[in-house]
């Protein structure tokens, strides 16, 4: 079982992190190619490739670019490097191993959408990736790849880094914009969409790190070449972050459509110590959970996972084995969403609080018979009633956990302890 390394082909080479090494392996030749093309043709190329946003929503990138007004108003490109979806650590890999690939992808995107200013918004905790990026930006400026008249093309573009300060919600594109503008990272009502009115009310495109890096590949291989991997509706390769109860966790690049079981049991080496697979969260903590049986027949593409009632999300696959108590795992996630709700919309602010409190109550052995249904009801009332997707992101896991592992929830409520043998959750109080 092997990876299909397209984006990450040279990531194991130390020199690839620096301009000289990156150029040795063909780096920035796609920027040169792009600068000779018409910007609109690049947008069409990305549209034709079918590339879908790799941050979580999976929206077609070229279509997003196409939403920009055609009036020549100044526009911004923002790279979303806030990577905060639990289970996800792929953007960090790109920034640490191939900062110039990201910069090149951003420059091609900026040229295509005719933007002269971009920011890479990196989560504040990513101190090391920020330092790698700073060094790379410095190198790029010195080499004339950034600034005025890039490579003699007449195109100019400035790029800078903005360091976030610890808030999951800033990974939501309008939350990111609020944060970059110097405010609380609270999402904004859409429409207007950022492409029309974004950063400082100017047209703005926000793309994920992996999405922007993939633009380099699309320029190199063309839309047809890019579509050589993946499925019709999910073209290309993607980096999957594999974690949880698995022998070889890590980032793996595979074509979309790759069987989930091959990721877990092939590349990931399976479940440690002879334990059994119990459940898989296939697309970051916001994605509804799959049972082991469902996971064994799932493929990693947008359409299959949507058909199974879950989503590909950011490509973060969290594996849970038979030692895990599903009530405990849900309690952990509800604590996360409660902590990360920005507090703006009532259903989310209050709902995540209640979901957290109810799961903690069950975990402490004080659960009441109606609690399991109450969890489901609260979650159901949070769906689709808020400005951004965080509320749904908290609600959907609850509904899937409770529906698919109902017996564990009922057992916990009735017996005041986990159904999983020997599971002692004395640490539950540590959350608060």
Partner 1 sequence: MFALSPEGLERVKKEMRRYETKQSAIIPALYIAQQENNGWISDEVIDYLSRVMEIPAAQINEVFKFYTMFNQKPVGRYHVQVCGTLSCHVNGAPELIEFLCRHLGVKLDEMTADGKFTISRVECLGSCGTAPMMQVNDTYYENLTPEKALQILKNLP
Q: Report the candidate in 80, 101, 81 with the shortest Cα–Cα distance to residue 16.
A: 101
Based on the shown chain and the rule CB under 8 A, indicate whether residue 174 belongs to the binding site for partner 1: no
Q: How far apart are CA 85 and CA 56, in angstroms?
A: 9
Taken in order 48, 54, 59, 62, is the CA torsion positive or negative?
Answer: negative
Based on the shown chain and the rule CB under 8 A, indicate whether residue 83 belongs to the binding site for partner 1: yes
Based on the shown chain and the rule CB under 8 A, indicate whether residue 183 belongs to the binding site for partner 1: yes
Region binding partner 1 by CB under 8 A among candidate stretches 290-298, 333-341, 356-364, 376-384: 333-341
Identify the residue among 106, 263, 280, 320 touching partner 1 (CB under 8 A): 320
CA-to-CA separations, 361 to 233, 273, 428, 432, in angstroms, rounded: 43, 32, 10, 12
Based on the shown chain and the rule CB under 8 A, indicate whether residue 251 belongs to the binding site for partner 1: yes
Q: Which is nearer to partner 1, 40 or 147 (CB)?
A: 147
Q: How far apart are CA 304 and CA 317, in angstroms?
A: 15
Identify the residue among 79, 102, 113, 180 touching partner 1 (CB under 8 A): 180
Based on the shown chain and the rule CB under 8 A, indicate whether residue 281 belongs to the binding site for partner 1: yes
Residue entry with tokens 């902590």:
339
Based on the shown chain and the rule CB under 8 A, indicate whether residue 30 belongs to the binding site for partner 1: no
The distance of closest approach from Cβ of residue 240 to partner 1 in the complex, given in angstroms and rounded to an integer, is: 10
Based on the shown chain and the rule CB under 8 A, indicate whether residue 87 belongs to the binding site for partner 1: yes
Q: How far apart are CA 110 and CA 103, in angstroms?
A: 10
Based on the shown chain and the rule CB under 8 A, indicate whether residue 84 belongs to the binding site for partner 1: yes
Complete DSSP assignment for 265-317: IIIT--SGGGPPEEEEE-SSTTSPPEEHHHHHH-EESHHHHHHTT---TT-EE
Based on the shown chain and the rule CB under 8 A, indicate whether residue 249 belongs to the binding site for partner 1: yes
Region binding partner 1 by CB under 8 A among candidate stretches 121-129, 149-157, 300-308, 378-386: 121-129
Beta-carbon count within 10 A of 165 CB: 10
3-class DSSP assignment, residue 157: strand
Identify the residue among 5, 13, 116, 163 touching partner 1 (CB under 8 A): 163
Q: How far apart are CA 89 and CA 214, in angstroms?
A: 17
Q: Which is nearer to partner 1, 34 or 159 (CB)?
A: 159
Identify the residue among 51, 267, 333, 402 touching partner 1 (CB under 8 A): 333
Q: Report the candidate in 13, 61, 360, 358 with the shortest Cα–Cα distance to residue 226.
A: 61
Based on the shown chain and the rule CB under 8 A, indicate whether residue 128 belongs to the binding site for partner 1: yes
First to last CA, the chain: 43
Inter-residue contact 286 to 393 (CB < 8 Å): yes
The distance of closest approach from Cβ of residue 54 to partner 1 in the complex, given in angstroms and rounded to an integer, is: 15
Based on the shown chain and the rule CB under 8 A, indicate whether residue 395 belongs to the binding site for partner 1: no
Identify the residue among 23, 29, 332, 381 touching partner 1 (CB under 8 A): 332
Q: Which is nearer to partner 1, 127 or 366 (CB)?
A: 127
Instruction: Restricting to residues 219-248, name those near partner 1 by CB under 8 A.
Output: 241-245
Region binding partner 1 by CB under 8 A among candidate stretches 37-45, 176-184, 302-310, 403-411: 176-184
Q: How many residues bind partner 1 (CB under 8 A)?
A: 56
* Contacting residues for 297 by C-beta, under 8 A, at least 6 apart: 261
Helices (H), 98-254: 99-113, 127-142, 173-180, 209-226
Identify the residue among 3, 85, 173, 356 touching partner 1 (CB under 8 A): 85
Region binding partner 1 by CB under 8 A among candidate stretches 34-42, 43-51, 164-172, 253-261: 164-172
Taken in order 188, 194, 199, 201, is the CA torsion positive or negative?
Answer: negative
**Pairing between strand 258-259 and 299-300?**
antiparallel
Q: Which is nearer to partner 1, 174 or 285 (CB)?
A: 285
Backbone angles phi, psi at 60, to 5 degrees: -60, 125
Interacting residues toward partner 1 by CB under 8 A: 83-89, 91-92, 123-128, 160, 162-168, 179-185, 200, 241-245, 249-251, 281, 285, 316, 318, 320, 323-324, 329, 332-333, 336, 339-340, 342, 427, 430-431
């Amino acid at each position: 079982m092997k990876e299909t390394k397209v984006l990450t082909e040279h990531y194991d080479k130390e020199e690839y992190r620096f301009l000289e090494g990156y150029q040795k392996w063909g780096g920035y030749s796609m920027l040169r190619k792009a600068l000779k093309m018409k910007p609109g043709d690049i947008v069409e190329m990305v549209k034709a490739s079918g590339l879908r946003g790799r941050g979580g929503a999976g929206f077609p990138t070229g279509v997003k670019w196409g939403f920009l007004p055609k009036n020549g108003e100044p526009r911004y490109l923002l790279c979303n490097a806030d990577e905060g979806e639990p289970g996800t650590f792929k953007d960090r890999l790109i920034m640490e191993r191939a900062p110039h690939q990201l910069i090149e992808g951003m420059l091609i995107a900026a040229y295509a959408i005719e933007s002269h200013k971009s920011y890479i918004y990196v989560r504040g905790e990513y101190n090391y990736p920020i330092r790698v990026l700073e060094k790379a930006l410095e190198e790029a400026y010195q080499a004339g790849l950034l600034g005025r008249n890039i490579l003699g093309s007449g195109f100019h573009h400035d790029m800078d880094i903005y360091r976030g300060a610890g808030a999951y919600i800033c990974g939501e594109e309008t939350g990111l914009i609020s944060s970059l503008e110097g405010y609380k990272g609270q999402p904004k009502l859409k429409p207007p969409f950022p492409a029309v009115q974004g950063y400082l009310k100017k047209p703005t495109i926000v793309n994920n790190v992996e999405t922007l890096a993939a633009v380099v590949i699309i320029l190199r291989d063309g839309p047809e070449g890019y579509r050589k991997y993946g499925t019709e509706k999910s073209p290309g390769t993607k980096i999957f972050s594999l974690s949880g109860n698995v022998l070889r966790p890590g980032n793996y690049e595979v074509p979309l459509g790759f069987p989930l079981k091959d990721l877990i049991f092939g590349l990931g080496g399976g479940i440690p110590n002879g334990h059994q697979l119990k459940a898989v969260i296939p697309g970051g903590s916001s994605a509804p959970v799959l049972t082991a049986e469902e996971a064994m027949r799932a493929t990693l593409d947008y359409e299959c996972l949507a058909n199974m009632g879950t989503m590909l999300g950011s490509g973060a696959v969290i594996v849970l084995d038979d030692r895990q108590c599903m009530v405990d795992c849900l309690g952990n996630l509800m604590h996360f969403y409660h902590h990360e709700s920005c507090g703006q919309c009532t259903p989310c602010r209050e709902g995540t609080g209640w979901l957290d409190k109810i799961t903690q109550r069950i975990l402490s052995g004080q659960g009441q018979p109606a609690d399991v249904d109450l969890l489901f009801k609260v979650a159901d009332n949070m769906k689709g009633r808020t400005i951004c997707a965080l509320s749904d992101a908290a609600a959907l896991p609850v509904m899937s956990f409770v529906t698919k592992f109902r017996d564990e929830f009922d057992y916990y409520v009735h017996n005041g302890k986990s159904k999983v043998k020997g599971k002692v959750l004395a640490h539950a109080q540590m959350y608060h």
